[in-house]
Amino acid sequence: MTTPSNEPLAEGQGSKKLHFVIVGGSLGGLATGLALKSLGHDTTILERNPVPLLQDQGAGIVAGGDTLAFFKRYNRCDQKFAVGSKRRQYLDKDGSIVHIEETPQNMTSWDLTYNLMRANYDGIENPYCKVPEPDPAHGKATHLHDRQVTDFKEEGDGIRVFWKSGKGEEGSTYGNILIGADGPSSTVRKILEPGVERKYTGYCALRGTMPESEASEAAREAFGERFTFFHSPGIQILAYLIPGKDGTVEPGQRLINFVYYTNFPEGSAELEEIMTDKNGRRRQITMPPGMTDEAAWEKQRQLARERLPPQFAEIVCGTKRPFVQAVTDVISPQHEYMGGRVVLIGDALAGFRPHTVASTSQATFDAMIYADYIAGKISKEEWKKNTIGFARYIQKRGVDMGERSQYQNLSLQEYVDDRNVASVPRELEIYPEWATAF
């Protein structure tokens, strides 16, 4: 597998200065913007959110090898990025450890990742880090919020991207290449591939955090610098430490982050209940933090006490701002369109189930390898095979892991094996032919 190189760019590489229009200003869009501006190209991010900074959901992400490699390559802020976990461990229903894998892993938070990327991309001041000095070799980096992209069309040598704002303004931005980094419900993808659907899988991830300082000794022991799991039929819960307020990784100030998968069949009263917010509005995919209906969440607390080991029940019951994600599947058959004028990356290309812990890795990998291709360091075929191979192979793995975990009764060893497979470093994966065929 190709690994994005860390070599400095040779002078004259990617000699034609391009303007990239990037749809979506979350981690995928920012990663791509940062990688391309570092090559000296101009980039404009169009983000539909009406406020200048995206609001986090306060939750964790596993910082896989590609995410760490991306930060090594592009992060110019002096800020520790991740909390280390020394091992993975599995609990039984009583809360006793029944299995240990000595596997180190790095965990971080979405908000720290986002704010570091913003500081590096367009120099936005934030409490997370000191903004680095501008680099004169970098291209122009523009971030525009309240720009919902609605359409695009080829024009001359490039592409015109149409948007509207929340105030009803309409406009367009012209560039050489359009990058669709607009997430699993991507508008760019819908225009190119109207037949591709995002489908609900029949279960949700209930998510939240709790300050480690508020946790009992038993919970701190279970989750302190450990990646801890519990499985039972139809249920999987895992938890780990992530950075706390303003990205601090100081012991005592970090957060315990949990992801609790549980089945809510399509069309069931339970699904309607958990996805209807405190104002009575039915949310389709995500119930944002602070919006859960109190009676619906109280029922989940009760179920957590009955079904989970005590340490896990404590953090589920103790979280103050739970949120819910309906787990979905979506993948685009291709990632390059119109002879390379439109490219899909990250969740817009393939929305993985969270069991893969690979969504941010995909976004950062897609950004790095695309930058390598644009810089002339790798061939078009290498770029295409690696990007689509990752998307197809890991998307399928997520489906398999999720179906096994939520709908089959597996032995502990099978759960452990599934998790170990998901931790294989990307560069050691051997993609089957179906994953890379065009």
Ligand X SMILES: Cc1cc2nc3c(=O)[nH]c(=O)nc-3n(C[C@H](O)[C@H](O)[C@H](O)COP(=O)(O)OP(=O)(O)OC[C@H]3O[C@@H](n4cnc5c(N)ncnc54)[C@H](O)[C@@H]3O)c2cc1C
- Rule CB under 6 A: is residue 182 a binding residue for ligand X? yes
Least gap, CB of 312 to ligand X (angstroms):
19
- Rule CB under 6 A: is residue 106 a binding residue for ligand X? no
Least gap, CB of 269 to ligand X (angstroms):
28
Nearer to ligand X, 116 or 363 (CB): 363
- Rule CB under 6 A: is residue 329 a binding residue for ligand X? no
What does the H/E/C string look like for the chain? CCCCCCCCCCCCCCCCCCEEEEECCCHHHHHHHHHHHHCCCEEEEECCCCCCCCCCCCCEEECCHHHHHHHHHHCCCCCCCCEEECEEEEECCCCCEEEEECCCEEEEEHHHHHHHHHHHHHCCCECCECCCCCCCCCCCEEEECCCEEEEEEEECCEEEEEEECCCCCEEEEEECEEEECCCCCCHHHHHHCCCCCCEEEEEEEEEEEEEHHHCCHHHHHHHCCEEEEEEECCEEEEEEEECCHHHCCCCCCCEEEEEEEEECCCCCHHHHHHCEECCCCECCCEECCCCECHHHHHHHHHHHHHHCCHHHHHHHHHCCCCEEEEEEEEECCCCEEHHHCEEECHHHCEECCHHHCCHHHHHHHHHHHHHHHHCCCCCHHHHHHHHHHHHHHHHHHHHHHHHHHHHCCCCHHHHHHHHHHHCCCHHHCCCCHHHHCC
- Rule CB under 6 A: is residue 322 a binding residue for ligand X? no
Q: Which of positions 338-367 make contact with ligand X (CB under 6 A)?
A: 346-348, 359-360, 363
Residue nearest to ligand X (CB): 346
CA 228, CA 103: separation in Å to the nearest integer? 12
- Rule CB under 6 A: is residue 26 a binding residue for ligand X? yes
Nearer to ligand X, 138 or 355 (CB): 355
Least gap, CB of 378 to ligand X (angstroms):
21
Least gap, CB of 61 to ligand X (angstroms):
4
- Pick the binder of ligand X from 22, 27, 141, 330 (CB under 6 A): 27
CA 221, CA 216: separation in Å to the nearest integer? 9
- Residue span binding ligand X (CB under 6 A) among the ranges 23-31, 217-225, 273-281, 299-307: 23-31
- Rule CB under 6 A: is residue 326 a binding residue for ligand X? no
Nearer to ligand X, 147 or 392 (CB): 147
Nearer to ligand X, 327 or 348 (CB): 348
Least gap, CB of 361 to ligand X (angstroms):
9
Nearer to ligand X, 20 or 110 (CB): 110
Contact string (CB under 6 A) for ligand X, positions 45-64, x = contact: -xxxx----xxxx-x-x---
- Rule CB under 6 A: is residue 206 a binding residue for ligand X? no
- Rule CB under 6 A: is residue 24 a binding residue for ligand X? yes
- Residue span binding ligand X (CB under 6 A) among the ranges 131-139, 144-152, 193-201, 336-344: 144-152
Nearer to ligand X, 55 or 232 (CB): 55
- Rule CB under 6 A: is residue 180 a binding residue for ligand X? no
Q: Which of positions 271-300 make contact with ligand X (CB under 6 A)?
A: none
Which residues would be at the binding site for ligand X (CB under 6 A)? 23-29, 46-49, 54-57, 59, 61, 110, 147-149, 181-184, 187, 346-348, 359-360, 363
